[in-house]
Amino acid sequence: MLIEAGAPLDATRRGDLTALGWAERFGHRVAVEVLREHGATLRGLPDYTMDELFDGVTAGTIEPYELDERLWELVALGPQSVHAVGMLGRPILVAWASRYLELQVGNGGFAQAAFNMLDWFPTAAEAFDELGCPEVAAVVRDAHELAVARGAGSEPKRGPLSALLRVFQRELRESDLHPFDERAKDAGLYDRAFDARIAYLLAHRAEIFRALPEIERRAELRSSSLLPGRTPSADDEDHDEEEQDD
């Protein structure tokens, strides 16, 4: 098992303990490119087992960000729909949804978030409520209501990259969602919600560990569709149908 909770930190396993190592081992070209661009595992963050991460964050010897980042990277190697992530259990769904919205808003505001992940807004609002951050949840719900009313994120997401970029730039330029960016910051999106998510992860350690084998299975399944010599099909976009049949 590549993410065995207590795997030793010997040289033969160090690459397997990071999301980038997973992606390279499985031949997951898309994930490799994304993770290299994202750069979290290339900025000198040490390799830890999941046991070490949880123990270190609890003891104050490892920065909480590293646990938050590691779990995000591992789940990101599989399908990322609300349904698919939800199948991994409530704690992972809460952590993923809250961090997904935080990353999107932090990068390009609610306008970008609405373009990329509008279907996640209701789940993210529920996640912030569960984390004890109702002020952030209220901002997300208000932004979602306005975005839906304005038809944000309704443009097709397929087609030439140049066309998608034009649609994206237009939505950002014409969006009514910009005032929500400051509201979310004032509500604690980047500080109180982060602290609450870390505390939540630590409190749900056992449930998260039970999901690790399924996270690995999904990474292997996803990567097998991208191996050299195989022609991707429409089924490779997501494996939700398989998840729903389970």
The burial class, CB within 10 Å (0-12 / 13-18 / 19+), for 169 is exposed
58 falls within a domain: yes
78 falls within a domain: yes
204 falls within a domain: yes
What pLDDT score was predicted for residue 5? 39
Which domain, by its residues, includes 208?
14-233
pTM: 0.71
Q: How far apart are CA 199 and CA 54, in angstroms?
A: 11
4 falls within a domain: no
Place of tokens 């997904």: 100
Total domains in the fold of the chain: 1
6 falls within a domain: no
Q: How far apart are CA 77 and CA 35, in angstroms?
A: 10
Q: In this structure, what is the dihedral angle of CA atoms 173, 177, 183, 188, given to the nearest 10 degrees? A: -90
pLDDT digits (tens, 9 = 90+) for 13-57: 333 334 445 444 444 444 445 455 544 443 445 668 889 999 999
Q: How far apart are CA 199 and CA 132, in angstroms?
A: 11
Q: How far apart are CA 186 and CA 50, in angstroms?
A: 32
Query: How would residue 122 be classed by pLDDT, with cut points 50, 70 and 90?
Result: very high
Q: Which range, of 21-30, 116-125, 161-170, averages the lowest pLDDT?
A: 21-30
| DSSP conformational letter for 203 | H
101 falls within a domain: yes
pLDDT digits (tens, 9 = 90+) for 186-221: 999 999 999 999 999 999 999 999 999 998 888 777
191 falls within a domain: yes
Q: How far apart are CA 128 and CA 38, in angstroms?
A: 25
Helices (H), the chain: 19-26, 29-38, 50-59, 64-76, 82-86, 90-117, 121-130, 134-150, 161-174, 179-187, 192-203, 205-224, 240-245
What pLDDT score was predicted for residue 15? 32
53 falls within a domain: yes
Q: How far apart are CA 147 and CA 246, in angstroms?
A: 33
Q: Which has the higher per-residue pLDDT, 155 or 195?
A: 195
